[in-house]
């Protein structure tokens, strides 16, 4: 055995430093947590607002689904006017003459949808002034089916209105 140097006898054993603690966190982690929490809250609030804005649209689509087999043009128009009144409460849209009412409905749609449905709305307006004996006697004829598709499309794509549509409706 080797003799121990007397100078080394007074030395203590090596003590390892304690492991670094994860708490308290560095300031960057607090900033990241606050940002993530803010992002989650703002996103949740925006999604809730969007859900609430579409409440009347969902109700109208459910009501339209119930009208499927028996809906007349008058019933479908009434549903459109009720829903429109919910989204444009301060405007007299529901009492517009037929031509202006149809122009308003088309104005809310894209250009391709306007082109597709303008002839249908003209046909419906013309049928309203025909002799009742010449009108179709089918409870749910081809014209009603096409109008039903138009109402469904309009409810899905024109609601809720954007701010520009609300401004334009207030000028009419």
Using the Cα atoms of residue 28, residue 34, residue 37 and residue 39 in order, give the sign of their dihedral: negative
SS3 77: helix
| Average pLDDT of the segment spanning 65-85 | 87
Residue 69 has pLDDT above 80, yes or no: no
Rounded to whole angstroms, the maximal C-alpha distance in the chain is 128
Residue with more model confidence, 65 or 71? 65
pLDDT of residue 139: 42
Q: Report the interhelical angle of 163-171 vs 98-107 (nearest 10°).
A: 160
Residue with more model confidence, 4 or 122? 122
- Cα dihedral 12, 17, 18, 20 in deg (nearest 10): 180
Residue 138 has pLDDT above 50, yes or no: no
The full length of the chain comes to 172
Token reading at 133 = 């004996």
> Residue 140: CB partners within 8 Å, gap ≥ 6?
69, 70, 71
Residue 8 has pLDDT above 80, yes or no: no
Residue 1's pLDDT band (cuts 50, 70, 90): low
Is residue 82 within 8 A of residue 74, CB to CB? The reply is no
CA distance 64 to 82: 12
**What is the overall mean pLDDT for the chain?**
86
pLDDT of residue 133: 58
pLDDT of residue 172: 57
Burial class (CB in 10 A: 0-12, 13-18, 19+), 63: middle
| Average pLDDT of the segment spanning 14-28 | 87
Residue 165 has pLDDT above 80, yes or no: no
pLDDT of residue 60: 95
Residue percentage of the chain with pLDDT more than 90: 49
């Amino acid at each position: 055995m080797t003799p121990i140097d007397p100078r080394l006898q007074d030395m203590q054993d090596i003590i390892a430093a304690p492991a670094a603690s994860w708490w308290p966190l560095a300031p960057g982690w607090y900033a990241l947590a606050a940002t993530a929490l803010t992002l989650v809250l703002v996103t949740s609030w925006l999604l809730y607002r969007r859900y609430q804005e579409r409440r009347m649209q969902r109700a109208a689509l459910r009501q339209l689904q119930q009208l499927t087999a028996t809906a007349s043009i008058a019933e479908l128009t009434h549903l459109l006017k009720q829903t429109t009144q919910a989204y444009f409460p301060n405007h007299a849209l529901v009492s517009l003459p037929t031509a202006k009412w149809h122009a308003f409905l088309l104005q809310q749609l894209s250009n391709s949808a306007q082109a597709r449905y303008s002839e249908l709305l003209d046909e419906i307006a013309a049928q309203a002034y025909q002799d009742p004996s010449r009108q179709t006697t089918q409870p749910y004829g081809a014209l009603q089916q096409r109008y039903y598709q138009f109402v469904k499309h309009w409810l899905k794509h024109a609601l809720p209105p954007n701010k520009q549509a609300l401004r334009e409706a207030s000028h009419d």
